[in-house]
Structure 1
Amino acid sequence: MAVYVYAVTLREHPCHLTGLTGVGAGDPPVRVVESAKLRAVVSDAADEVRPRRRDLAAHQAVLDRLLADGTPLPLQFGYTAPDDDTVRQVLDERADAYLDALAGVQECAEFNVKAAQEEAELLRGILEDSPRASSLNQQILAGDGDPRLPLELGQLVAGEVEARRSNASAEAIRALSPPARAYVVHPPTGEDFLNLSLLVPHDGESAFLEAHAALARDAGPGVRTRLSGPLPPYSFVP
């Protein structure tokens, strides 16, 4: 029978999994497959795995439980193997790589910070700070029909938006990264100008949370940050 794989841990990880049910139909119990140096946390997978809400929650619940007792190496949702023997073989063949990766994340958790600025506040700031943008906007509002004016204003505003978001992102990274062991900048979406994942050691969490609180407090008008974590270190799996 196929098995669904949640994570790889050190052999010494306690893997307290009692009471957890896994991904897929029938609420399969979560269990451990061991090799000489590693453990894989798995459950039986009798059907096709789909990203249903219940299954996504089950996947995350397993990783959260593992994280409470030591940092696991999390696998993305949907990873399956043909059987336990295949899992054990992969653990043996890739033992050195898994051990190196686990060493890099031990005693850490991932935190994700997203930040966005309300478009109205962003545009208001550009018009206040840029005499040329303000002049163009006033001419357009006054009824000047020159078609070049909206084009120039649009190009100017687009450039300012990109520059301001880039600067705000860089400032946030400088503020948040010192307590972290590593960080990854993801492409932001929507109105976000920042999507940042940080690998934060447990003994640096207080400093990191203080840095985030200061960033949220001083970020400027219309800027909001969203913090998620502690999380398994998804962004730091090689």
Structure 2
Amino acid sequence: MSAYMSYSYAVTRADASLEESLSQMRGVAEGPVRLVRAQGLAVVVSPVPEEDFGETALKARLEDLDWLESVARAHHAVVEAVFARTAVLPLRLATLHLDDNRVRDMLDRRADEFAWLLDQLAGHVEWGVKVYALPPAPGSPEPAAVSAAADTSPGRDYLRSRQRQRRSGEDAWRAAHDAVLRIDAAARGLAVDRVQHRLQEGELATGPGYNVSNNAYLVPRERGEEFQSQLLGAAESLDGIRVDITGPWAPYSFTASDDTDDAQETHREGGAEAETTERKAGTQ
């Protein structure tokens, strides 16, 4: 018989009606979703097979992006189902305990912290804002080099070309920096908190350009449309910049650090990739 672990999705307040609404839901690995209660709070959990989610197996699985995406989709679906009904503290992807008793112990230890966070986050949502510096369009004209005919030579032409490229790159990054400051100022005029995430590169980056800012903002739910409008307005006149706004999300970036008893949570080196995969799964 396979051994099972408790996969934890989120912390919320204990609620019989919530538990009933989740009773028909399936989570990661098709496990039935339920609540583990303590001190008026609850962790949303489901069972997962230890052979796939034990520490050694999990480290290997995190390298499989297809598997990781399927877990992220299921994780996100459960968190959003809870968030649609009440305040929630999403836990990190692949937060695991050996059993429900360990989950309950964690709730007992951190009940005051979780209750305070739930009060702070009630009525708020998370918006993601990424700023990208766009490369020059192919065939864009370069400033003409002014030089005497006597100064023209293949070597000098090459050096001038390199100087123009360097100046162009410096100008682009300076413009991107100014754009980030402008967009952040507009966002923070409405947000109550901000978290700066690691810049996205390689497969984690989406669309054209180089990611120069990757922030999450905590915004009152009723001001979401105003938030989008303000940021799009701030970005409208900025050349060479792309702004990607996603949300509203459950407040993934503003919850407490995860707590596991056996170092079973997503290892930190793969955490950013897992978090981004989770976010992508929710938007597709």
Bin of the TM-score, shorter chain as denominator length: 0.7 to 0.9
1:208 corresponds to 2:227? yes
The question of whether the paired residues in 2 share the 8 Å contact of 1:22 and 1:59 is answered with yes
| Residue matched to 2:274 | none
Q: Aligned pair count?
A: 226
Q: CA RMSD in A?
A: 2.8
| Residue matched to 2:254 | 236
What fraction of aligned residue pairs are identical, expressed as a percent? 26
Inter-partner Cα distance in structure 1 for 2:253 and 2:170: 30
| Residue matched to 1:99 | 115
Q: How does 1:1-238 map to 2 (within 5 A)?
A: 1-12=4-15, 14-15=17-18, 16-24=21-29, 27-47=30-50, 48-49=52-53, 50=61, 52=67, 53-120=69-136, 134=143, 144-146=154-156, 148-190=159-201, 191-216=210-235, 218-238=236-256
Q: Secondary structure at the match of 2:49?
A: coil
Q: Secondary structure at the match of 2:106?
A: helix
The question of whether the paired residues in 2 share the 8 Å contact of 1:168 and 1:193 is answered with no
Shift of 1:224: 2.8
- Please tell me the residue identity of whatever aligns with 1:207: E
Per-residue CA distance 1:142-200 (angstroms, 9 max, x = gap): 75523643454344333323221111111111112211111122233351223221111
Consecutive aligned runs of 4 or more in structure 1 exceeding 4 Å deviation: 121-125, 135-139
Gaps of 5+ in 2: 54-60, 202-209, 257-284
Q: Secondary structure at the match of 1:195?
A: strand
Shift of 1:214: 1.9
Shift of 1:10: 2.1
Question: Which structure's relative contact order is higher, taking Cα pairs within 8 Å and 6+ residues apart?
Answer: 2
Q: Secondary structure at the match of 1:59?
A: helix
Q: Could you state the TM-score of these two structures normalised by the residue count of structure 2?
A: 0.70
